[in-house]
Chain A
Amino acid sequence: MKKVVRGFYSVAYSVKLCRPNVICAYPITPQTEIVENLAAMYANGELGEAEYITAESEFGAASILVGASAAGARVFTATCSQGLILMSEVLFNAAGMRLPIVLVNTNRALSAPLSIWNDHQDSMAMRDAGIMQVYVENNQEAHDMIPQAYKVAENKKVLLPFMVCMDGYKLTHAYEPVDLLEQEMVDSFLPPYEPAAYMTTKKPLAFGCYAPPHIYMEFRVAMQQAMERAKDVMLDVFKEWAEVSGRDWGGHITVDFPDSKIFVVAMGSVVGLLRKVVEELRNEGLSVGLIKIRTFRPFPVEEMREALKDAEKVIVLDRSVSFGYEGPVSIELKSAIYGYSSAEIYSFAVGLGGRDMPKDFLAKIIRDVGEGKEKPGFAFKGYQEFEEVIP
């Protein structure tokens, strides 16, 4: 049923339909209402046998979920920003222990300075953890992604944590129409979790324990292989979702106007507006297309090579920075297409800490590249000139 709901609710409701066994979280803006909604559902007896635990920190929340997941539970948490990096010590473990934890990250900038607003610096800090990362464009995609996340993560070919990344405020706080899923549909799509291995008091197991040099590396190779297999599993799951839900969100990337000379590459909630901007610029005669990255981990290497093989210019809009180099999406993309495309790469960091990205701003960036007014390389866009004063 299509209803106007807040982004938070679109996630919480979808989580409920996935019948999690343990939900554990610590509140942080702009994630709070997701877990508030789930806590209310729990208090109202709507979560069946699920346990809802409020932890004393994100570190605690992630740790509790590692235990619960190792005991065979389907688990959920949500966090962002400082909360995510506080979880990170545990989440690297969760990935190494091959626990299919599903979490939602309501993307928010990192301190310092303190910012509660949206960018992608937090999830990028988890890039190398062994956690799958998918970025969504709107609240319908966020809603739809939760059951798919469980199905991919729990697949025995994968068994890795799955992080659904949704832009804080821009999505979480927005009211918009969302076609809410039916329980029967989710039940038939997502079977109950059957863990490959789980511990009980009768059958104690150890997860992630001591691995000396003669064995550690094999575990890490296995993680990489799992990530590689996840690429195919995701495609199967995405395709099945399109069939059962009637909403086809595409594969690891989506490409609008594949024959273009210039491509804009972006992730998250800005993609919708970019689609409009690209259409308008095409009407002005600019040969420009749009690539939306859905799956950042595993990275869509082959897809990028194919999409950009004849491209002349590629504009990457990054929402975070690897200080001392450039935006992480740009770094990944260059690495992926090296030797496969001779396109010039224009790497721009935009919209940091919630800096708004108006339509005209986006159009100008693309137009300037199209008209040769920009040089390839890295630059920040949309900031005020200033002089740093160090006393």
Chain B
Amino acid sequence: MVKILIEVRFHGRGGQGAVTAADLLAVAGFKEGYYTLSFPMFGAEKRGTPVVSFLRISDEPIVARDEVYNPDYVVVLDPTVMETVNVVSGLKRGGMLIANYPKSSEDLKKKVKADELGIKVATINATKMAMEVLGRPITNTAMVGAFGGATRLISLETLVEVVKEWFKGELAEKNAKLVEEAYRYMMEVCRNED
């Protein structure tokens, strides 16, 4: 079997669900047959303060519980976090920054010096999407979808299933819709990149 270990770091702000995003993907990854581990880097969480969480996906049991220093993917839930946090720190060459960002991938590429770092960048306006579907700027499920669409590691069907188990009632339906929209959008963005 091919040895896979994919490490992901999430950046967001308290209240946007960066921790839940990693957790949802841990549940979804396991459903697809991977071993998974997600955990937050806890600080003094308050709404609005920068929050970091981690995800590991592997085809063998995961024993490493140290923080992720050299992620394969960085997922950013809030564009303003990038003003104060160097989100691409340690991101592997060939790795990808998947960001909620109101402008184009090209714009963010320049900003983070993507070519110098040898990283890929894919952006999605998740805040706008979340406002339209949820009426609130909570971007975690959109970014879960975006991660799925960008990486194709986890199928859309599994992500929708997990989101519907996680949330209840109308919120489940809305978040499932958001996941699907973001997944399809990001799949398209990354297809154009290649």
Contacts and interface: CB of A to CB of B under 8 A. Distances in A.
Interface of A: 3-4, 6, 30, 116-117, 138, 169-171, 173-177, 269-270, 272-273, 275-276, 356-359
Contacts of B40: 169, 173
A117 B41 CA distance: 10
A170 B39 CA distance: 7
A117 B42 contact: yes
A358 B36 contact: no
A358 B69 contact: yes
Secondary structure dominating the interface of A:
loop
Secondary structure dominating the interface of B:
mixed
Contact of B66 (A3, A173, A275, A357): A357
Q: Indicate the member of A170, A174, A276 with the most B CB atoms within 10 Å.
A: A174
Interface residues of B, number: 19
A359 B66 contact: yes
B42 A177 contact: no
A176 to B, nearest CB: 5
Given A173-B42, A177-B36, A358 B67 contact: yes
Given A169-B39, A174-B38, A4 B63 contact: no
B30 interface: yes
B146 interface: no
Contact of A177 (B22, B35, B39): B35
5 contacts: A175-B26, A175-B27, A269-B65, A270-B65, A276-B64
A241 B143 CA distance: 42
B26 A272 contact: no
Contacts of A117: 42
Given A4-B30, A177-B35, A170 B23 contact: no
Contacts of B64: 272-273, 276, 359
A174 B65 contact: yes
A282 to B, nearest CB: 16
A38 to B, nearest CB: 20
B37 interface: yes
Contacts of B63: 138, 272-273, 275-276
Contacts of B35: 176-177
Contacts of A138: 63
Interface string B60-79: 00111111010000000000
A173 B42 CA distance: 9
B66 A4 contact: no
Contacts of A174: 37-39, 65
Contacts of A176: 26, 35-38, 62
Given A170-B39, A173-B39, A176-B37, A4 B65 contact: no
Nearest to A357: B66
Nearest to A170: B65
A156 B44 CA distance: 45
Nearest to B31: A4
Contacts of B22: 175
